[in-house]
Protein backbone atom coordinates (compact mmCIF):
# COMPACT_ATOMS: atom_id res chain seq x y z
CA UNK A 1 0.00 0.00 0.00
CA UNK A 2 1.26 3.43 -0.89
CA UNK A 3 2.04 5.90 1.88
CA UNK A 4 1.14 8.76 -0.49
CA UNK A 5 -2.24 10.39 -0.08
CA UNK A 6 -4.57 11.26 -2.90
CA UNK A 7 -5.80 14.83 -3.01
CA UNK A 8 -9.38 15.84 -3.72
CA UNK A 9 -8.18 17.35 -7.02
CA UNK A 10 -6.57 14.07 -8.07
CA UNK A 11 -9.77 12.20 -7.24
CA UNK A 12 -11.84 14.68 -9.24
CA UNK A 13 -9.50 14.40 -12.23
CA UNK A 14 -9.59 10.61 -11.95
CA UNK A 15 -13.40 10.65 -11.95
CA UNK A 16 -13.46 12.88 -15.04
CA UNK A 17 -10.98 10.63 -16.87
CA UNK A 18 -12.97 7.57 -15.86
CA UNK A 19 -16.13 9.09 -17.34
CA UNK A 20 -14.29 9.96 -20.56
CA UNK A 21 -12.79 6.49 -20.94
CA UNK A 22 -16.17 4.80 -20.43
CA UNK A 23 -17.91 6.89 -23.11
CA UNK A 24 -17.01 5.73 -26.63
CA UNK A 25 -17.37 9.18 -28.23
CA UNK A 26 -15.44 10.98 -25.49
CA UNK A 27 -12.77 8.27 -25.56
CA UNK A 28 -12.27 8.70 -29.33
CA UNK A 29 -11.93 12.45 -28.78
CA UNK A 30 -9.30 11.84 -26.06
CA UNK A 31 -7.27 9.64 -28.41
CA UNK A 32 -7.58 12.13 -31.28
CA UNK A 33 -6.90 15.30 -29.23
CA UNK A 34 -5.19 14.28 -25.97
CA UNK A 35 -3.69 17.66 -25.04
CA UNK A 36 -7.03 19.45 -25.53
CA UNK A 37 -9.10 16.91 -23.59
CA UNK A 38 -6.56 16.58 -20.79
CA UNK A 39 -6.42 20.38 -20.43
CA UNK A 40 -10.22 20.43 -20.11
CA UNK A 41 -10.04 18.09 -17.10
CA UNK A 42 -7.17 20.00 -15.50
CA UNK A 43 -4.09 18.19 -16.78
CA UNK A 44 -1.56 20.17 -18.79
CA UNK A 45 0.54 17.44 -20.30
CA UNK A 46 2.09 16.25 -23.50
CA UNK A 47 1.40 12.65 -22.51
CA UNK A 48 1.02 10.13 -25.29
CA UNK A 49 -2.32 8.33 -25.37
CA UNK A 50 -2.42 4.71 -26.47
CA UNK A 51 -5.89 3.21 -26.76
CA UNK A 52 -6.33 -0.55 -26.49
CA UNK A 53 -8.42 -2.27 -29.13
CA UNK A 54 -9.74 -5.80 -29.51
CA UNK A 55 -6.57 -6.63 -31.44
CA UNK A 56 -3.99 -4.63 -29.49
CA UNK A 57 -3.42 -4.21 -25.76
CA UNK A 58 -0.70 -1.91 -24.43
CA UNK A 59 1.34 -3.04 -21.45
CA UNK A 60 2.22 -0.20 -19.08
CA UNK A 61 5.70 -0.45 -17.62
CA UNK A 62 6.01 1.50 -14.37
CA UNK A 63 8.62 4.24 -14.21
CA UNK A 64 9.93 2.86 -10.92
CA UNK A 65 9.93 -0.68 -9.58
CA UNK A 66 10.66 -1.62 -5.98
CA UNK A 67 13.67 -3.88 -6.58
CA UNK A 68 13.70 -5.12 -2.98
CA UNK A 69 10.10 -6.34 -3.22
CA UNK A 70 10.83 -8.00 -6.57
CA UNK A 71 13.95 -9.70 -5.16
CA UNK A 72 11.92 -10.88 -2.17
CA UNK A 73 9.33 -12.46 -4.48
CA UNK A 74 6.56 -10.31 -2.96
CA UNK A 75 3.44 -11.78 -4.62
CA UNK A 76 1.23 -8.91 -3.44
CA UNK A 77 3.57 -6.46 -5.15
CA UNK A 78 3.50 -8.52 -8.36
CA UNK A 79 -0.30 -8.36 -8.22
CA UNK A 80 -0.12 -4.57 -7.81
CA UNK A 81 2.22 -4.31 -10.81
CA UNK A 82 -0.08 -6.51 -12.90
CA UNK A 83 -3.12 -4.42 -12.05
CA UNK A 84 -1.23 -1.24 -12.88
CA UNK A 85 -0.03 -2.67 -16.18
CA UNK A 86 -3.31 -4.17 -17.42
CA UNK A 87 -6.00 -2.88 -15.08
CA UNK A 88 -7.25 -0.23 -17.47
CA UNK A 89 -7.88 -2.38 -20.53
CA UNK A 90 -11.20 -1.38 -22.09
CA UNK A 91 -13.23 -3.21 -24.69
CA UNK A 92 -16.42 -2.00 -26.29
CA UNK A 93 -16.77 -5.55 -27.64
CA UNK A 94 -14.90 -8.30 -25.82
CA UNK A 95 -12.71 -10.24 -28.29
CA UNK A 96 -13.40 -13.95 -28.72
In the chain, domain spans: 1-49, 52-96
Strand residues in 8-52 grouped as ranges (E): none
| Helix 8-22 and helix 24-32, axial crossing angle in degrees, nearest 10 | 110
Q: What is the pTM of this model?
A: 0.55
Helix, strand, coil in percent for the chain, rounding step 5: 50, 0, 50
* 12 Cβ contact list (under 8 Å, min separation 6): 42
Q: How many residues would you count in the chain?
A: 96
Task: For residue 2, count other CB atoms closer than 10 A to its CB.
Answer: 6
Element (H, E) at 26: helix 24-32
CA distance 41 to 38: 5
- Each residue's pLDDT, cut to its tens digit, for the chain (96 residues) gives 444 566 888 888 889 988 998 998 999 999 899 989 999 998 887 777 887 777 887 777 777 888 999 999 999 888 888 777 766 555 555 555
Amino acid sequence: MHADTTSRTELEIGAKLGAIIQNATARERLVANPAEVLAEVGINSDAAIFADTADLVHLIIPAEVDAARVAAGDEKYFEELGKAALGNCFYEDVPE
